[in-house]
């Protein structure tokens, strides 16, 4: 009966294995620094995706210390270069302030067809965060996000349709059901229970 090779292999390992994590960490840190420098150089060259990656690396602390400020600045640069996802990330980092900057970044992300940016921007519009309330614009942004695959936006769009007094009641029910069906198809189980399934 063959014996397991594990005891024989383990016997070759040093008694103290503390060198393993230290060696791995040094290797990871070195790779992280190289990744950070590459992203920084590509971002400086005007590559939007590299700027977004740089923002993610700075937020996570890969290749250097964590920096929310540096991460946000990299996302803003990527947003200015046309990366919708980065606009959403930049907006979400300042969303807690509920100010015009968050609203502006999220709108830019929505204009660049980033569904999650549309959802958050619509929420701000609906509730007047960072500026005046605009329910009609909020509904349009929720619809765009829903069409882009955001289940939560489909639910919010259905609620906005329900609350819109300018639409005929029969049309309201039909439009609402279309949005709930879309949310259900995108995996929102509650929508399936609320009329999203025939």
Whether 167 shows a pLDDT value over 80: the answer reads: no
Q: Please tell me the distance from the alpha carbon of residue 2 to that of residue 154, in angstroms, as a whole number.
A: 60
Q: What is the pLDDT of residues 53-98, one digit of tens each?
A: 999 999 999 998 999 999 999 999 999 999 999 999 999 999 888 8
Which residues 6+ apart lie within 8 Å of 118 measured at CB?
A: 106, 109, 110, 141, 142, 144, 145, 148, 150, 153
The more confidently predicted of residues 29 and 178 is 178
pLDDT attached to residue 6? 32
3-class DSSP state for residue 38?
A: helix
Residue with the larger pLDDT of the pair 1 and 98? 98
Q: Which residues contact 164 (CB under 8 A, 6 or more apart)?
A: 135, 139, 172
- 89-126 burial, b at 16+ Cβ within 10 Å, e below that, comes to bbbbbbbeeeeebbbbbbbbbbbbebbbbbbbbbbbbb
pLDDT at 26: 47
Helix spans in 18-83 (H): 19-44, 48-60, 68-80
Tokens of 137: 């614009």
Rg of the chain over all Cα atoms, to the nearest angstrom: 24
Predicted pLDDT of residue 181: 92
Query: What pLDDT, in 10s, does the model give residues 25-47?
Result: 444 555 688 899 999 999 999 99
Q: pLDDT band at 14, cuts 50/70/90?
A: very low
pLDDT digits (tens, 9 = 90+) for 125-150: 999 999 999 999 999 999 999 999 99
Single out the residue of 140, 132, 134, 181 nearest to residue 157, CA to CA: 140
Token digits for 188?
Answer: 């929102």
pLDDT value, residue 95 = 87
């Amino acid at each position: 009966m063959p014996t397991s090779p594990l005891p024989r292999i383990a016997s070759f390992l040093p008694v103290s294995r503390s060198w393993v994590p230290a060696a791995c960490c040094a290797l990871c840190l070195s790779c992280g620094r190289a990744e950070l420098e590459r992203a920084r150089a590509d971002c400086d060259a005007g590559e939007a995706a590299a700027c977004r990656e740089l923002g993610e690396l700075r937020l996570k602390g890969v290749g250097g210390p964590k920096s929310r400020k540096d991460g946000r600045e990299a996302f803003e640069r990527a947003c200015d270069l046309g990366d919708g996802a980065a606009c959403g990330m930049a907006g979400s980092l300042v969303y807690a302030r509920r100010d015009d900057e968050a609203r502006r970044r999220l709108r830019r992300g929505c204009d660049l067809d980033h569904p999650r940016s549309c959802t958050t921007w619509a929420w701000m519009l609906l509730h007047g965060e960072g500026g005046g309330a605009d329910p009609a614009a909020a509904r349009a942004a929720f619809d765009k996000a829903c069409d882009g695959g955001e289940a939560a936006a489909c639910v919010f769009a259905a609620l906005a349709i329900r609350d819109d007094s300018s639409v005929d009641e029969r049309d309201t029910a039909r439009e609402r059901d279309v949005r709930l069906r879309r949310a259900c198809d995108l995996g929102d189980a509650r929508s399936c229970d609320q009329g999203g399934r025939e």
